[in-house]
Amino acid sequence: MRDFETLVAEAVEADVNGWGFDWLEGRAAEERPPWGFATLLASRLTTVGSALDLDTGGGEVLSEATAFPGRMVATEGWPPNARRARDLLGPRGVDIVETEGPALPFPDGSFELVTARHPVRPDWNEIHRVLAPGGHYFAQHVGAASAFELIEYFLGPLPEQRKGRDARAEAAAAEAAGLTVVDLRIARCRMEFFDVGAVVWILRKCVWWVPDFTAERYGGKLRELDAQMRAGRPFVAHSTRHLIEARR
């Protein structure tokens, strides 16, 4: 394993735009939920004439679909990601719309299918509004206390924050907005980080995990992790995910 300074420096310089995680290959591992969201999403897209993908990132997940409906739109709020998504998906006829805030710039009943993989903060009223009658919302969300072993390693105990993103609470909110939840599945998946550079990179990419993170500010904690990893003990955390489908 390379020295601490080299691992940290290359992670600080690495590109974190988009929503791909190839940089972590061989340096971290995450168990995947059992349902295979990308495959299910690709199948759903072949059954409708119009679809909207929310918070598409750089379009990486959506791009795995081999076919799109006649009207395919994706939203993204972070301009560098939107540019990447436009480069990736634009040639395939996908319209990339940059958004600010929860309001969706589409008329009522615009889409037969609304999808998302790890939306920032689903607005159920807006999702209900843009769905056509009989349309479906199909998504994989980040669940409660996801990766909190890593987050709390740096920030200390966060008991109130652990309660957020609860799958059943989100399902109840969807129902309150007028949707009917027809499927809800929950998974807890093991994550392992094998070198300190992987930790630096993921905290730069997922900036909401440790909002004040810099390698300099948390140098002491990072050195402790580095020593643990060099002793052959990866840092273990757990991601939580839920698959949710709702019908208007």
* Location of structure tokens 């590109």: 15
Q: Of 191, 220, 233, give the one whose Cα is nearest residue 1.
A: 233
**Burial class (CB within 10 angstroms; exposed 0-12, middle 13-18, buried 19+) of 232:** exposed
In the chain, the amino acid numbered 15 is: D
Q: Of 52, 152, 37, 153, give the one whose Cα is nearest residue 104.
A: 52
Record the pTM. 0.90
Q: How far is residue 191's CA from residue 201's CA, in Å, rounded to a whole number?
A: 15
In 3-state terms, what secondary structure has residue 149?
A: helix
Look up residue 120 and give its DSSP letter: S
Residue by residue, pLDDT tens for the chain (248 residues) are: 899 999 999 999 999 987 789 999 999 999 999 999 999 999 999 999 999 999 999 999 999 999 999 999 999 999 999 999 999 999 999 999 999 888 999 999 999 999 999 998 999 999 999 999 999 999 999 999 999 999 999 999 999 999 999 999 999 999 999 999 999 999 999 999 999 999 999 999 999 999 999 999 999 999 999 999 999 999 999 999 999 999 99
Look up residue 137 and give its DSSP letter: E
Structural domains of the chain in order of their starting residue, each with its CATH number: 4-247 (3.40.50.150)
Cβ–Cβ < 8 Å for 125, 133: no
